[in-house]
Amino acid sequence: MGLLDIVPAGVVTGDNLRKLFAYAKANKFAIPAINCTSTSTVNAALEAARDIGSPIIIQFSNGGAAYFAGKGLSNEGQKASILGAVAGAHYVRSVAAAYGIPVITHSDHCAKKLLPWFDGMVEADEAYFKAHGEPLFSSHMLDLSEDPKEENIEICLQYLKRLAPMGCLLEMEIGITGGEEDGVNNENVDNASLYTQPEDIWDIYKAFSEITDLFSIAAAFGNVHGVYAPGNVRLHPELLGKHQAYVKEQLKSEDDKPVFFVFHGGSGSTQQDINIAVSHGVVKMNVDTDTQWAYLVGFRDYFNAKKEYLATQVGNPEGASKPNKKYYDPRVFVREGEKTMIKRIQEACEHLGNVKRN
């Protein structure tokens, strides 16, 4: 039985989203979340997943969403980020079913100072829910990991109460990611923060599950965000297994893996670490840096190879009056970036076991 026997093609929310993640957890694979900034990158992600018969997660970051709406728009009051994320989600909804695969539409990291962005997206979900009986987005991510745990949980709960009735999932983050990010050096933070403790996971699980089971947790197990020389922080994905066991014990449940986990900051991690993480209930892994690079490679190689056809509109090595239109048509060179991005997304899917799942 494949995924398409369980959930329909197109954007999944609510019950179908729950079924999709439960299927991934039970069958020990995770779905990559691809950061997209344009219809071109959205299409690349959808095509990549379609061609290997697997589900995919399209996610928009705060900056990526603003870019989607247009760099020329002011982002005062988060207006461009709201517009771009909402437009992006509508675009994904317009085409996803045609690709014949289950698709999750998600918004990436939202820190406390970006809450107006979150509010704008949830308002769009509520409007969409009124008209169609489901939210616009499948899920959203709230990152209050820099705030004290109690405050993190409290603010998440406020939003969870709005998202749960629509069947929209909330992803949250707990613990500090290692490395240096945005000038904040977490190199010397204590172990307990770099590695989320089972008690923290239980505190979240207990509070959230009073409202809904549609939530996921990005726990810190030595993950490093951004570009940072590896080695200072060691990845311990086996900790996720301890969290699952602890929650199971508290619940007195038969379920060995009650929690949906998310893997952040996974760039450069080994196949073994990924396998361990996925075996312990990671159902989603963020992929951004590597697909950005892959998208560039296609453009770069094309421009290098066709240099003499791109210097002027007319005239190339084949003749001074030969037109170059077929070389500078954006459909030609943007497509080259899409092709290399598609390849990299499919590699990510393979690493996560997300192949031939439909």
Q: Minimum distance from CB of 208 to Zn ion (Å)? A: 17
**Residue placing its CB nearer to Zn ion in the complex, 112 or 300:** 112
- Binding track, positions 186-225, relative to Zn ion; x by CB under 5 A: ----------------------------------------
282 vs 299: CA distance, rounded Å: 33
Contacts of 277 (CB under 8 A, 6+ apart): 30, 221, 237, 240, 261, 263, 266, 285
* Torsion, CA 93, CA 97, CA 100, CA 106, rounded to 10: 20
* Interface size with Zn ion, residues (CB under 5 A): 2
Of 155-163, 190-198, 207-215, 261-269, the segment contacting Zn ion by CB under 5 A is 261-269
**Cβ closest to Zn ion, residue 123 vs residue 146:** 146
Nearer to Zn ion, 47 or 173 (CB): 173
Least distance to Zn ion from the beta carbon of 322, Å?
Answer: 51
134 or 173, CB closer to Zn ion?
Answer: 173
Residue 152 or 324 with smaller CB distance to Zn ion: 152
Closest chain position to Zn ion (CB): 264
- What whole-number distance in Å separates Cα of residue 259 and Cα of residue 257? 6
Which among 90-98, 100-108, 262-270, 335-343 is the span making contact with Zn ion, rule CB under 5 A? 262-270
Q: Tokens 């050096």, residue?
A: 185
Taking the complex as a whole, the smallest distance from the CB of residue 170 to Zn ion amounts, in Å, to 14
264 binds Zn ion (CB under 5 A): yes
Q: Which is nearer to Zn ion, 102 or 175 (CB)?
A: 175
257 binds Zn ion (CB under 5 A): no
Using CB under 5 A as the criterion, what x/- string covers residues 144-183 for binding Zn ion? -----------------------------x----------
Q: Please state the closest distance from residue 216 (CB atom) to Zn ion, in A.
A: 12
Does the footprint of Zn ion cover residue 140 (CB under 5 A)? no
The whole-angstrom separation of Cα 185 and Cα 242 is 28
Applying CB under 5 A, the span of 17-25, 258-266, 288-296, 347-355 interacting with Zn ion comes to: 258-266
Residue 96: CB minimum distance to Zn ion, A? 25
203 classed as catalytic: no
Which span (150-158, 260-268, 275-283, 326-334) binds Zn ion, by CB under 5 A? Answer: 260-268
Q: Which stretch binds Zn ion (CB under 5 A): 31-39, 122-130, 259-267, 319-327?
A: 259-267
Site residues for Zn ion, window 273-302 (CB under 5 A)? Answer: none
Q: Measured from the CB atom, is 125 or 173 closer to Zn ion?
A: 173
* Residue in 5, 15, 51, 108 annotated catalytic: 108
Interface positions with Zn ion (CB under 5 A):
173, 264
Residues designated catalytic: 108
